[in-house]
Chain A
Amino acid sequence: MSDADFETIRKLQAERNAAAAAKKGSRTLDPSNQRSDNTSTKASLTESFDTDLYSHGDEDMQDADADNSRRLVGQYTATKSQIEEFAHGDGVEEDDPFAGRGEKSTRIVDRETDYQKRRFDRTLTPTRADPFAANRQAGATEDGDSYREIMEQREIEREEERVRQAIQARREAGGTNGEEHQATLQDGNKENAEAGSTEVATTRKRKKRWDVSSTAVDEATPEAADGKAKRSRWDQAPALSAPGATDASKKRSRWDQAPSATPVGNSGLVTPMHPSQAGAATPSFGTDIVGPNAAISDEELDALLPGEAEGYKVLEPPPGYAPTRAPHPPSRCYAIALELRRIPKEIPGVGDLQFFKPEDMAYFGKLTDGSDENALSVEELKERKIMRLLLKVKNGTPPMRKTALRQLTDNARQFGAGPLFNQILPLLMEKTLEDQERHLLVKVIDRILYKLDDMVRPYVHKILVVIEPLLIDQDYYARVEGREIISNLSKAAGLATMISTMRPDIDHVDEYVRNTTARAFAVVASALDSHSDGLRCPPHLKGLVDCIGPNLNDEQTKVRTVTSLAIAALAEASNPYGIESFDDILNPLWTGARKQRGKGLAGFLKAVGYIIPLMDEDYANYYTSQIMEILLREFSSPDEEMKKVVLKVVSQCAGTEGVTAGYLKEHVLDEFFKSFWVRRMALDKRNYRQVVETTVDIGQKVGVSEIIERIVVNLKDESEAYRKMTVETVEKVVAGLGSADIGERLEERLIDGILHSFQEQSVEDIIMLNGFGTVVNSLGTRCKPYLPQIVSTILWRLNNKSATVRQQAADLISRIAMVMKQCGEDALMGKLGVVLYEYLGEEYPEVLGSILGALRSIVTVVGISQMQPPIKDLLPRLTPILRNRHEKVQENTIDLVGRIADRGPESVNAREWMRICFELLDMLKAHKKGIRRAANNTFGFIAKAIGPQDVLATLLNNLRVQERQSRVCTAVAIGIVAETCAPFTVLPALMNEYRVPELNVQNGVLKSLSFLFEYIGEMAKDYVYAVTPLLEDALIDRDQVHRQTAASVVKHIALGVVGLGCEDAMVHLLNLLYPNLFETSPHVIDRIVEAIEAIRMAVGPGLVMNYVWAGLFHPARKVRQPYWRLYNDAYVQAADAMIPYYPNLSEEGIDRHELAIVL
């Protein structure tokens, strides 16, 4: 850089500074030529104007101001609030009658899709046998289905499904004789579908699923096989007679499937009923329809529906109609509705709840029946206890919840798994469940899982039925929660149980079940990883993989996709072990990948990507080359998701041992750069990151120059985002691999490109800065030829109008200062220093902070003596900056000042240092710890440079201020000064200060003493007798904080003088300390006990324990408590040393005559 250039910049700078000064001058009014305020009678316009009326929050108001045409009549218009109402749409949403529904609803069902609602189709299966129970040999209870039975059951279900479909197919083929109701049915179905589905486009698909799921009903509600081919809706839900639903229909619509889901009792089979339900529901029915869970009675229907008076009439049921006896939750809902008026205000033994929903009555109604607790059996009492606790957790206030949850957790094993889950799980299946309630209940399960451990095994399936739907919830946190529970469950129940429980569901007839189970499997697999560090994984891994492997060829795309994702998760979890478990699926996976397209392929590729890193070199190489063909094809895929997966797989392949640099260069690089290094990629944030990551991963293998050679051109591209992407990649590659590989020509192009993109950036970005810094630092002395150019750029940018440009330029100086020193460019640095010095008047604090940081880095590398401008000029400029309140400025200034005080204090006179001391005091109350610490250290340096007297006087005065923070820091600073300048220079003044009759000051002195003795350690032995009288006074002060602080002084002294012969003073202090033992405030008692312990260290346990024996068996517990605390602490620290000092208990029958032996 030429001198002329430099001069130009200096000149411009001077102009800029002058302009800034002029601007400042114009803004501040000269008071001399103004009327003095107190004589003015006018109200100040700028200060007291009505801010409410003239608020400038609205842009419209500015327009109004600009309008200076004089109007005599006021303009009437809508009020501001009215205008804003429509601008912001507040009022519109406030009154939205549907606000509580749909996406926003707290009820979970309201925002579920039809597919998610299928969770209600699942049943809580009965308890299973636990084949892994420890006491199985001892003839433990073997109730519950075994694995074999369940597998057989599933087989039968599949057969049933097949037959059912065959029958239906035949009927559809033969029975097209144009029955009227067939058309109606289709309409009805369609209507239903449209009403219930969120995406119309998928209606067709979903319809198909309904067919499948309706079998779930079949299995759960065995119906009277009366040979009726077509069941009408009447059969299903006589209670909910929706108009228009009277037509007999072949296919049943969704809402009438639900019955099987909710666990309702006495259907005589699988579903365990919530124990309270029967009791709660019974009393509301007394009708001709038999059974406790029967539908609404005729009377009730008459009351609900319009009667003959309104023109309606009750139709006779068609001939041959026989109502089914299947239980229905809708009827229960009505029961609840009828019961609503009977809802009690308070549940006995629970207290005030936050809310109590009518639905809760079904579960918790039992608590209100007022039966005599004494007459109940233990089991019933337990059940009620759990019920009460659950109610508290679910509906209670936060403190209630907390205690109830704790009780449930603590007593989980006593309650037993059965009673707990039989109550919790049905609650989770409740349709009106809200997010909050579900969260709490799930939390209960989570907690008790830990406690129950293997007791949970028989209930694993039930829990899974309830928890699996969480995995496909829309809410991210629900999914996380679900994953957590399942992983805890697999830890509690053990892997074998998990597999044997989930295996039958993997080929369940219902796609929904298969889907959720596969997801749960993936969770189990990853839980297993954290559980066993991958090492113990392989034995089970094989089972898991075999179990889901066949699904890779399932005819359902979704199943294939989910299976491949599960395999990916398994492979990821077992990394780097377990490739042998995947042997069997390698072939289907690789051949399958060739057949897939779209989303399915993405899943397959993902699995491939996770399996390849497990392989050894040869295999990895082979399999990579096999899959690369597809990857290369998909490079050009327009699908974003596919791009992501492909990039991921490429970086995984590049990372494995077996894939060589040669292979990558030959086959992959060209294609990769052609398809991914295009401007379009830089525009999308996610793609951008993926491409950068993958390129860096490939770079690890093929080397820096290979990558940079290809992308260096892009540094001069016209798209800024693209340049940024290039710089980021360059930065990462160079930071990871260094620049030794970069040739001379490439180096030139690289620096040129980086400089170009640095100059051309329109928005200053940290990425550019990092990139520049990393490249320069990595090249080191090779940068020398380019430095003048770089510095010239920096200087021009330092003079830029935009603040961020200046800031970035200053930041760049701090990054490259070290390299400039290495290159021996001291002259250039001097120039930079001078320019920076001129900019200390910078008005933007962020920029000023960066400039100070740049100065600091220059001072650090060139040293105090060589610094240009000289320190004696620099430091006086810094003193006023210390007053700046901005954190970044403070931190950088204090750092710079501290460095100067440390290395070259002689370059500034003492008076200047004192001035700095005063400014530093304010820093002691900074929020940032780094600033406070730097300030304290600087006090130490300054005190060392100019002697402690003046500094100390300043600090002692500061003890009188009000802020606690400031006083504490002052105390620390005094401690540091004492440490750097020897205690005798500080102690006299400090102790003298204690005579000030002011609590804050005295406390501050004690605190300083505490830090002082902590810092000086063993030196304390010379000062113990000097400070003892002061401590005597402090330890008998009325104020407990005073005694507390004195105790901490005693502690630090005592720990400093261990073994140095100050026992007499220590025992004296112990005598004064000991009466404080009965303080109750936690901080005070902690300090007191610590001090006593410290004295025990100094004088040995024998003496101190003599004080302790007296109170160990005192009649008052309040006395025994602290004495045992002292005893325990002594015992833990010095049990062996206490042995000779135990009291003589020969009268109590203890004869330790061994201790009395003298030779």
Chain B
Amino acid sequence: MADKLRTQQELERLQAKYVGTGHPDTTSWEWRTNIVRDTYSSIVGHPSQLAYMSLALNEPSAKLRAQLLRKMVQPCGPPPPREDQEMYMAPPTPRAQE
């Protein structure tokens, strides 16, 4: 019991420190978002890689950098509505009442 609690606390601490870490209930959308953001931030964070890419795309690296940063906003679209929220917000349909 205490052990379980400790692992839980450790996980929370880890999550607070590293946004990209996950847990068994992480949704596919969260994971995919993190992947894309990590990818772009990695490219932006390595100047040589950014230079390589700007050369290939024939764009100024500053512009490319801005583009990549902009792409990091909701790269996989808006979050899917959560089930309980759906229940709350949507008017009750016959299906939901079942």
Contacts and interface: CB of A to CB of B under 8 A. Distances in A.
Given A1139-B38, A1150-B36, A1112 B21 contact: no
B23 to A, nearest CB: 6
A1127 interface: yes
Contact of A1150 (B24, B26, B35): B35
Contacts of B3: 1082
Contacts of B39: 1139, 1142, 1152, 1154-1155
B47 interface: no
B21 A1131 contact: yes
A1155 B26 CA distance: 25
B20 A1131 contact: yes
B70 to A, nearest CB: 13
Interface string A1103-1136: 0000000001100010011001001100110011
Nearest to A1119: B24
B14 A1132 contact: yes
Contacts of B18: 1128, 1131-1132, 1135
Interface string B71-98: 0000111000000000000000000000
A1142 B35 CA distance: 8
B91 to A, nearest CB: 27
Contacts of A1145: 32, 35
A1150 B31 CA distance: 11
Nearest to B43: A1154
A1135 B22 CA distance: 13
Nearest to A1122: B24
Interface in B39-85: 39-40, 42-43, 45, 52-53, 55-57, 68, 75-77
A1148 interface: yes
A1157 interface: yes
Contacts of B35: 1142, 1145, 1150, 1152
Interface string B7-35: 00001001000101111101010011001
A405 to B, nearest CB: 14
Given A1127-B21, A1135-B38, A1145-B32, 17 more contacts: A1082-B3, A1124-B24, A1131-B20, A1132-B21, A1135-B20, A1136-B42, A1142-B35, A1145-B35, A1148-B28, A1149-B77, A1150-B35, A1150-B75, A1152-B39, A1154-B40, A1154-B53, A1159-B52, A1159-B55
A42 to B, nearest CB: 61
15 contacts: A1124-B23, A1128-B22, A1131-B18, A1132-B18, A1135-B18, A1138-B38, A1139-B38, A1145-B32, A1148-B28, A1149-B77, A1154-B40, A1157-B52, A1157-B53, A1157-B56, A1159-B55
A1120 B68 CA distance: 32
Contacts of A1135: 18, 20, 38
A494 B1 CA distance: 37
Contacts of A1120: 24
Contacts of A1112: 22, 26, 31
A1150 B32 contact: yes
A1148 B18 CA distance: 24
Contacts of A1159: 52, 55-56
List the 3 closest A-B pairs by CB distance, nearest first: A1120-B24, A1128-B21, A1157-B56
A1131 B39 CA distance: 13
Contact of B26 (A1124, A1142, A1149): A1124
Contacts of A1152: 35-36, 39
Given A1154-B43, A1159-B52, A1117 B21 contact: no
A1154 B53 CA distance: 8
Nearest to A1138: B38
Given A1139-B38, A1142-B39, A1124 B55 contact: no
A1135 B41 CA distance: 11
Contact of B14 (A1128, A1150, A1157, A1158): A1128
A1139 B75 CA distance: 16
A823 to B, nearest CB: 59
Given A1131-B18, A1139-B42, A1148 B32 contact: yes
A1157 B51 CA distance: 12
Contacts of A1128: 11, 14, 18, 21-22
A1148 B30 CA distance: 13
B24 A1117 contact: yes
B7 to A, nearest CB: 9
A1138 B34 CA distance: 12
A523 to B, nearest CB: 32
A1157 B24 contact: no
A1055 to B, nearest CB: 22
A1155 B23 CA distance: 27
B29 to A, nearest CB: 9
A1139 B36 CA distance: 9
Contacts of B57: 1157
A582 B23 CA distance: 57
A239 to B, nearest CB: 50
B96 to A, nearest CB: 24
Contacts of B36: 1150, 1152
Most A C-beta atoms less than 10 A away, residue of B20, B45, B57 = B20
A615 to B, nearest CB: 47
B28 to A, nearest CB: 6
Interface in A640-683: none
Contacts of B24: 1117, 1120-1121, 1124
Contact of B76 (A1121, A1149, A1154): A1149
B46 to A, nearest CB: 8
Nearest to A1148: B32
Contacts of A1155: 39
Contacts of A1132: 14, 18, 21
Interface in A428-476: none
A1126 to B, nearest CB: 11
Interface string A747-781: 00000000000000000000000000000000000
Contacts of A1142: 35, 39
A1121 B24 CA distance: 5
Most B C-beta atoms less than 10 A away, residue of A1112, A1120, A1131, A1157 = A1131
A1076 to B, nearest CB: 18
Contacts of A1113: 28
A1150 B29 CA distance: 10
Contacts of A1139: 38-39, 42
B48 to A, nearest CB: 13
Contacts of B38: 1135, 1138-1139
Contacts of B52: 1157, 1159
Nearest to A1158: B56
Interface string A76-104: 00000000000000000000000000000
A337 B68 CA distance: 78
Nearest to A1137: B42
A298 to B, nearest CB: 57
Nearest to A1152: B39
Contacts of A1127: 21-22
Contacts of A1150: 32, 35-36, 75-76
A1113 B76 CA distance: 18
A1152 to B, nearest CB: 5
A1132 B43 CA distance: 18
Nearest to A1116: B24
A1127 B24 CA distance: 11
Nearest to B52: A1159
A1135 B68 CA distance: 18
Contacts of A1136: 42, 45
Contacts of A1154: 39-40, 43, 53, 68
A585 B75 CA distance: 68
B59 to A, nearest CB: 11
A1138 B53 CA distance: 19
Interface string A606-624: 0000000000000000000
Contacts of B32: 1145, 1148-1150
A1128 B24 CA distance: 11
